[in-house]
């Protein structure tokens, strides 16, 4: 599995998954997903949990993971896939997840793990009552596909009858329901109630829930007016330090914020070198003064905590006194000289010292026998910055960031480019599934 390429695709290919009139799901990147899933089913599913992956890509991973057989997989892998499946189902907007379940029906995917997933979605969804009211026919289709039409309807009839003759859940009826349905659910009483609702008369025009009940990415609230000090705690504290704020108060707070940002993250068993643009423009001007440098240094502090071996090459002035022009190409060569597993170029994108050199040097690396991955992280003031003239090396993989909340996705994206980073992503996402850091 080509993790960096796949993750980049997951983050950028925003095309809906469509069910055609003929019944087949239509997705232009099916082959990419199929190949990735076959090569590493667990890594493929976990990669979809990385912050910043697009919802329609997560829907594809959910579809592909459920549609594939789990024969031959280790018990531990199956358990992980079950957790990832659940996280994806409840981490997607309900309509997206429902599209996947309907696609599974069209594909006639009837593995046991599909049954479990569909029953969980229909009967255990946190907003199942509202969902059943709004999308009853589609949910019935999925439910009957999961259990088999005859079995599903028999279960519904028996549950309805049992409710009429209170307490008759023992004997053959109870055994049948347990064997056919209730063994797939965690709460039989709630499941029975929802099956009755599923087969009850509907109400026309009820709005369906739109939001995912358990979002995979933290819900972010963007400030209406961005300032250098409302882009995350670390950067805000750094700005105050740069502006001459009280060191005795700010330094301990800074350490605390960095510790909080990195708590629970596994260590990256790799050597990472950062080329840090410390030119005058990284300091910025007027109301944006220190905004870019503070966020770049926030990233530097986080990487220093996470990476086993971490080197920084500054080009221009210094972190505290950014000045002069940036020689990004020279900085990259210096960074490569330290023998890293990964080089991260952090810049505002303005290559002042003979622009084009970074691109030429980067283009030469493969021919010069250098296989070390190089990525560029573009420090921006807001997510709406015009970056047209700020791409010093379009051939290098690049990602912009402006807020501390971007770091979760950014770290996974940059680490994906080096071999130890793939294990880091796996460990981090497994930690999320185990209820650790999210």
Minimum distance of another protein from residue 315's CB (angstroms): 11
Minimum distance of another protein from residue 334's CB (angstroms): 9
17: number of CA atoms within 13 Å, CB side? 27
Minimum distance of another protein from residue 418's CB (angstroms): 18
Minimum distance of another protein from residue 285's CB (angstroms): 7
- Among all chains, which residue has been given the structure tokens 């990004």? 328
> DSSP per residue over 153-208, as a string?
HHHHHHHHHHHHTTT--SHHHHHHHHHHTGGG-S-HHHHHHHHHHHTS---TTPPP
- β pairing state of 18-19 and 25-26: antiparallel
**Residue closer to another protein (CB basis): 212 or 349:** 349
Minimum distance of another protein from residue 71's CB (angstroms): 47
Residues 6 or more apart in contact with residue 402 via CB below 8 angstroms: 226, 231, 295, 379, 380, 381, 382, 383, 385
How is residue 68 annotated by DSSP? S
**Residue closer to another protein (CB basis): 166 or 368:** 368
For residue 16, what are its two tokens? Answer: 């809906």
Minimum distance of another protein from residue 354's CB (angstroms): 6
How is residue 218 annotated by DSSP? P
> DSSP per residue over 254-299, as a string?
HHHHHHHHHTTPPPEEEEEEEEEEESHHHH--GGGTTHHHHHHHHH
- Helix 149-164 vs helix 188-198: crossing angle, to nearest 10: 110
Residue 6's Cα: distance from chain center in Å? Answer: 12
Q: Are 117 and 93 in contact (CB under 8 A)?
A: no
**Residue closer to another protein (CB basis): 215 or 330:** 330
Binding site for another protein (CB under 8 A): 279-281, 285, 316-317, 323-326, 329-330, 333, 336-337, 348, 350, 352-357, 359-365, 367-370, 386, 389-391, 393-395
**Residue closer to another protein (CB basis): 38 or 354:** 354
**Residue closer to another protein (CB basis): 330 or 420:** 330
Minimum distance of another protein from residue 376's CB (angstroms): 13
How far is Cα 107 from Cα 17, in angstroms, rounded to an integer? 14
Minimum distance of another protein from residue 88's CB (angstroms): 39
Minimum distance of another protein from residue 240's CB (angstroms): 23
Minimum distance of another protein from residue 281's CB (angstroms): 4
**Residue closer to another protein (CB basis): 218 or 337:** 337
For residue 226, what are its two tokens? Answer: 């961005």
Minimum distance of another protein from residue 8's CB (angstroms): 20
How far is Cα 351 from Cα 364, in angstroms, rounded to an integer? 18
- Among all chains, which residue has been given the structure tokens 């990415």? 217
Nearest to 380 by CA among 404, 401, 410, 352: 401
**Residue closer to another protein (CB basis): 185 or 372:** 372
**Residue closer to another protein (CB basis): 312 or 336:** 336
How far is Cα 6 from Cα 233, in angstroms, rounded to an integer? 31
**Residue closer to another protein (CB basis): 269 or 391:** 391
Containing 25, the helix (H) or strand (E) segment is: strand 25-26
185: number of CA atoms within 13 Å, CB side? 25
**Residue closer to another protein (CB basis): 170 or 369:** 369
**Residue closer to another protein (CB basis): 204 or 285:** 285
């Amino acid at each position: 599995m080509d993790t960096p390429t796949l993750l980049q695709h997951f983050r950028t290919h925003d095309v809906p998954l469509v069910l055609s009139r003929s019944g087949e799901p239509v997705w232009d990147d099916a082959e990419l997903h199929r190949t990735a899933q076959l090569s590493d089913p667990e890594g493929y599913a976990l990669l979809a949990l990385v912050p910043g992956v697009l919802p329609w890509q997560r829907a594809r991973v959910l579809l592909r993971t459920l549609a594939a057989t789990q024969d031959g997989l280790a018990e531990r892998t199956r358990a992980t896939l079950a957790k990832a499946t659940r996280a994806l189902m409840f981490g997607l907007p309900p309509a997206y997840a429902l599209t996947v379940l309907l696609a599974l029906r069209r594909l006639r995917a009837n593995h046991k793990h599909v049954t479990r997933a569909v029953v969980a979605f229909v009967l255990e969804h946190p907003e199942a009552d509202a969902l059943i009211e709004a999308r009853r026919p589609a949910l019935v289709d999925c439910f009957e596909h999961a259990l088999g039409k005859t079995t599903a309807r028999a279960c519904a009839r028996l549950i309805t009858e049992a409710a009429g003759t209170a307490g008759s859940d023992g004997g053959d009826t109870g055994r049948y329901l347990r064997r056919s349905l209730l063994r797939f659910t965690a709460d039989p009483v709630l499941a029975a109630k929802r099956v009755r609702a599923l087969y009850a008369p509907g109400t026309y025009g009820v709005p369906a829930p739109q939001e995912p009940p358990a979002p995979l990415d933290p819900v972010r609230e963007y400030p209406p007016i961005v300032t250098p000090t409302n882009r995350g705690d670390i950067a805000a504290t750094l700005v105050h330090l740069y502006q001459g704020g009280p060191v005795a108060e700010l330094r301990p707070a800074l350490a605390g914020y960095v510790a909080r940002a990195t708590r629970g993250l596994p260590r990256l068993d790799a050597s990472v070198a950062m080329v840090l643009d410390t030119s005058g423009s990284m300091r910025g001007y007027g109301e944006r003064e220190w905004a870019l440098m503070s966020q770049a240094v926030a990233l530097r502090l986080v990487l220093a905590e996470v990476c086993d071996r971490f080197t920084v090459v500054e080009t221009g002035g210094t972190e505290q006194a950014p000045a002069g022009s940036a020689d990004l190409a020279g900085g990259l060569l210096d960074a490569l000289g330290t023998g890293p597993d990964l080089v991260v170029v952090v810049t505002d994108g303005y290559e002042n010292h003979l622009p084009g050199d970074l691109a030429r040097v980067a283009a030469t690396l493969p021919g010069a026998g250098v296989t070390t991955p190089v990525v560029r992280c573009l420090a921006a003031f807001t997510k709406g910055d015009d970056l047209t003239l700020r791409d010093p090396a379009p051939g290098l993989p690049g990602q912009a960031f402006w807020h501390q909340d971007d770091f979760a996705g950014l770290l996974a994206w940059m680490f994906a480019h080096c071999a130890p980073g793939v294990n880091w992503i796996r460990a981090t996402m497994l930690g999320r599934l185990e209820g650790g850091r999210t």
